[in-house]
Amino acid sequence: MTAPPPHLTDRLFVRLGERRYRVERPWGELPDGMTLGQVSHVGVGSRDNVYAVRRRDAVADPEPFDPVVVFSPEGRFLRSFGGEWMADAHGIFITPDDVAFIPDRDAHQVCAFDAGGRLLLTLGERHRPLEPFNHPSDVAVAPNGDIYVSDGYGGSRIHRFSPEGEPLGSWGRPGGGPGEFRLPHAVWALPDGRVLVADRENCRVQVFDPEGRYLEEWDDLYNPADIYVDAQGIVHVTDETPRLTAFTERGEMLGRCRPSLNTPHGVYGDSKGNLFIAEVRPSRITRLALQVD
């Protein structure tokens, strides 16, 4: 049998609206003997370095490892950090000055690190559930510096803090109505002050004003997991179909694709328009490389 030409078998492409991407997986090179473990989320810093967030079971696997692995834009391993501070990393947001905010889900805390991995700030009382967090899932920093935390796995709430970490208020309760949550799994703050929340088990994104007043919701999603908004205002939402959906900031759908085999958990983008997907099963990073047609 004649083998098919290589161009028929070695490339896959997806499209989101007018944008076309080449699918690259697994992405990123690790040193010998090092694995990603269970990669949960991914972020991108100001120099397009890629931060992979890895989970661990702090009870069954007490030997700590660094939950954050940093790659160059080309995928070379640069460094790792956070093992002395974090028990169960989940979610990430990176500010323009490369401060990485990461929820420590089962330690009920949010930690913020500088680009070198030095701890700068914590929110919440470590190992003290409901003070104020109860297994937080994600964090976002608004353009004005306010910090929003989705208190997802036990809290069903959104918490807002000042840039200095002072509490500014909270909202939400369990349920399926407006302003209620069944696992607020991801959060993002838009430049106009609106706050997007991936309400995973209610299969929707809810939209609020900065003080938590309900505005609207976007549906036709199946267990949305993460939200990333790029510099052009395109809102990217992963869900468990598995699927990646692009919306305008007003919730109008621009396009959809299937970027991974199973569950696209985290999503983030770089300055060149490439997108990075954290896949839980199998555990790996997928890069969607933007194509110039």
166-179 as b/e, with b when 16 or more CB fall inside 10 Å? eeeeebbeeeeeeb
Q: Is residue 124 over pLDDT 80?
A: yes
Provide the pLDDT confidence category of residue 58 given band limits of 50, 70 and 90: confident
d(CA 205, CA 54): 25
Give the pLDDT confidence of 8-49 residue by residue, as tens digits. Answer: 556 899 999 999 999 999 999 999 999 889 999 999 999 999
Between 62 and 58, whose confidence is greater? Answer: 58
Domain 6-291, CATH? 2.120.10.30
Give the pLDDT confidence of 182-211 residue by residue, as tens digits. Answer: 999 999 999 999 999 999 999 999 999 999
Query: Considering only CA atoms, which of 84, 116, 85, 87 is closest in space to residue 100?
Result: 116
pTM of structure: 0.95
